Amino acid sequence: LIFPGREWNETVILSRSMGATISIVGAGRVGRTLGRRLHELGWTIDAVVTRSRATARSAVRSIGAGRAHGALTRQVLAADLVLIATPDDAIASVATALARMGGAEWKGRVVLHTSGALDRSALQPLSVQGAATGSLHPLQTFTGRGTPRLEGLVFTVEGDRRALAMARKIALALGGVPVTIDGRNKPAYHAAGAFVAGHLLAVLEAATQMFMRIGYSRRRAAQALLPLAHQMLENFQRHGPRVAWTGPLSRGDFATVGKHLEALQQFPREFQEAYAALTRLGARTLARNPQAVLAKLDRVLRGARGGKS
Ligand SMILES: NC(=O)c1ccc[n+]([C@@H]2O[C@H](COP(=O)([O-])OP(=O)(O)OC[C@H]3O[C@@H](n4cnc5c(N)ncnc54)[C@H](OP(=O)(O)O)[C@@H]3O)[C@@H](O)[C@H]2O)c1
């Protein structure tokens, strides 16, 4: 197999990996998406484990390959690689249960999980048994509706030597860009991702609900707000944060910020709290002189709080 533009050794690794078999433990939104694409690329999918026969069968149908298991099973040991894509909170207990099932048979195998916030230490019971452990996090939002493109996506990877090599290999096979980070930085890395995926969504929905409160339909609100959001993103991408920054704070219109805070009092308190926190964040991250802007802003914020009581 030839992948133009890739280094020779990565091409060789990719070719060799086609023989690798993968078991997937936890086949929901992420497990199915990665499993399906890897299967399409010629990797062999072995055990597919969820918490019920019904969901496991549905996962196998969605992936297009694999053997369905409705509970953890030793069968996962038949694969060279085990990919754990359960919710974060289940990873450690799954690792403990698998370590108990396989014991020393884990030696030489590779186990990766797909959590953004956790690092390989969540798989410690397996590494104690001799497995190479790491994590492979696709920085994308998977909703289960439609499949986001994996090509060009950053896959954040970390792990011990063999696990890291396997994580990079998978990311490259999927057309992604592997970026290695120190496992200790994963919570901060994931919090940054949450700002963009989750918090941006909450902000967009808050603005939508405010529009609806003053008479817009949801459809009209989307029609009004989405071009604004798209243009801001395009400005950020093309010109960077400073050029993309518009709005009262960027102009020093502190009185307008005060009016916003006053208007927000008619909404649930989280609206005003978020507005205040995000305005301060804007000053901190976007202003040329954050201290000066924050000092003025804090006077306005204190005034708004005073006006409330
Ligand atoms: N969704 C995203 O946008 C996204 C993006 C990047 C990374 N991630 C990470 O990927 C991982 C999976 O997230 P997801 O959104 O794909 O989760 P999900 O859609 O909720 O799927 C979780 C899967 O794990 C199975 N499961 C739960 N507990 C289990 C257990 N104890 N033993 C075996 N299987 C178990 C579930 O079984 P059932 O099917 O039977 O319920 C389901 O198949 C998480 O670590 C998450 O942080 C998620």
CA of 204 to the centre of ligand 1 (A): 26
pLDDT (tens digit per residue) in 80-127: 999 999 999 999 999 999 999 999 999 999 999 999 999 999 999 999
Query: Which one-letter amino acid corresponds to residue 74?
Result: R
CA of 86 to the centre of ligand 1 (A): 3
Query: Which one-letter amino acid corresponds to residue 281?
Result: L
Q: Does the Cβ of 95 fall within 6 Å of ligand 1?
A: no
23: number of Cβ within 10 Å: 27
Residues 282, 279: Cα–Cα separation, whole Å: 5
Average pLDDT over residues 62-70: 98
Take atom 31 of ligand 1 and give the residue whose Cα is closest: 90
pTM (whole model) above 0.85: yes
Residues 196, 15: Cα–Cα separation, whole Å: 35
What percentage of residues in the chain have a pLDDT greater than 90?
90
Strands 154-159 and 177-180: parallel
pLDDT recorded at residue 15:
43
Examine the pLDDT at 304 and tell me if it is beyond 60.
yes
Residues 177, 111: Cα–Cα separation, whole Å: 20
CA of 164 to the centre of ligand 1 (A): 21
Mean predicted lDDT score pLDDT of the chain? 93
Residues 128, 107: Cα–Cα separation, whole Å: 9
Average pLDDT over residues 56-78: 97
**Ramachandran area for residue 175 (φ above 0: left; ψ -120 to 50: alpha; else beta):** left
Residues in Cβ contact with 65 at an 8 Å cutoff, skipping those fewer than 6 apart? 35, 39, 44, 45
φ and ψ of 72, to 5 deg: -55, 140
Examine the pLDDT at 181 and tell me if it is beyond 50.
yes
Ligand 1 atom nearest 52 alpha carbon: 40
Residues in Cβ contact with 109 at an 8 Å cutoff, skipping those fewer than 6 apart? 77, 79, 80, 81, 82, 131, 132
Ligand 1 atom nearest 113 alpha carbon: 45
Take atom 18 of ligand 1 and give the residue whose Cα is closest: 28
Average pLDDT over residues 119-147: 97
CA of 26 to the centre of ligand 1 (A): 5
What percentage of residues in the chain have a pLDDT greater than 70?
93
Examine the pLDDT at 19 and tell me if it is beyond 80.
no
Q: Does the Cβ of 90 fall within 6 Å of ligand 1?
A: yes
Mean pLDDT lowest for which of 2-6, 228-232, 260-264? 2-6
Read off the DSSP letter of residue 147. -
pLDDT recorded at residue 146:
87
Q: CA angle at residue 135 from 18 to 140, to 5 degrees?
A: 90
Confidence of residue 309 (pLDDT cuts 50, 70, 90): very low
Examine the pLDDT at 61 and tell me if it is beyond 70.
yes
Q: Cα separations (Å) of 14 from 39, 87, 188, 259, 308?
A: 14, 28, 31, 58, 62
Take atom 5 of ligand 1 and give the residue whose Cα is closest: 141
Residues 46, 61: Cα–Cα separation, whole Å: 13
Residues in Cβ contact with 174 at an 8 Å cutoff, skipping those fewer than 6 apart? 34, 37, 38, 41, 138, 150, 151, 153, 155
Q: Does the Cβ of 137 fall within 6 Å of ligand 1?
A: yes
